[in-house]
Amino acid sequence: MSGHDHDHGTDPSDESSADRRNFMRGCGAAAAMAVAGLGVDSVAATEADLDALLDDLPDNWDRWGEDDELGALNLLGSEEAFAGMKAAMQRGPTGIERFTLQTPMTGEAIDALVGEGDAPTTDTGDPMFPGRTPARRDNAADARTAEPYPGGMQFSDDRFVTEFFLHGTTHMDALGHGWYGDEVYNGRDESVTAASKEFDHAVPGCVDGEAGEVNETHGHSAIDISPLADAGVAGRGVLLDVGRARGDDCDRLPLGAEVTLEDLRATAKAQGVELRERDIILLRTGSIERVTDPDTEWDPLNEPGLVFSEDLIRWVHDMEIPMIGADNVAVEKVTQSVGDHTFVLPLHGALLRDLGVSLNEILWLEELATQCADDGIYDFLLTSAPLHVERATGGPVNPVVLKATKPKKKRS
Ligand code: UVW
Per-domain residue ranges of the chain: 14-106+169-188+223-404
Tell me, using a 6 A CB cutoff, whether residue 173 lines ligand 1: yes
Ligand 1 centroid vs 32 CA: distance in angstroms? Answer: 12
Tell me, using a 6 A CB cutoff, whether residue 179 lines ligand 1: no
On whether the CB atoms of residues 306 and 329 are closer than 8 A, the answer is no
Residue 347, φ and ψ in degrees, nearest 5: -70, -25
pLDDT of residue 288: 94
Across residues 193-215, what is the average pLDDT? Answer: 89
On whether the CB atoms of residues 390 and 226 are closer than 8 A, the answer is yes
pLDDT of residue 113: 46
Query: Per-residue confidence at 128, pLDDT binned at 50, 70, 90?
Result: confident
Ligand 1 centroid vs 374 CA: distance in angstroms? Answer: 32
**Cα(247)–Cα(332) distance, rounded to whole angstroms?**
17
Q: What is the pLDDT of residues 156-200, one digit of tens each?
A: 999 998 888 999 999 999 999 999 999 999 999 999 999 999 999
pLDDT of residue 161: 86
3-class secondary structure, 378: coil
Options 3.90.1300.10, 3.90.320.10, 3.50.30.50, 3.90.550.10; CATH for 14-106+169-188+223-404 is: 3.50.30.50
Residue 407, pLDDT > 70, answer no
pLDDT of residue 110: 47
Residue 304, pLDDT > 90, answer yes
Ligand 1 centroid vs 81 CA: distance in angstroms? Answer: 27
* Mean of pLDDT over the chain: 86
Across residues 58-72, what is the average pLDDT? Answer: 98
**Cα(124)–Cα(6) distance, rounded to whole angstroms?**
9
pLDDT of residue 30: 59
Q: What is the pTM of this model?
A: 0.89
Residue 20, pLDDT > 50, answer no
Tell me, using a 6 A CB cutoff, whether residue 246 lines ligand 1: no
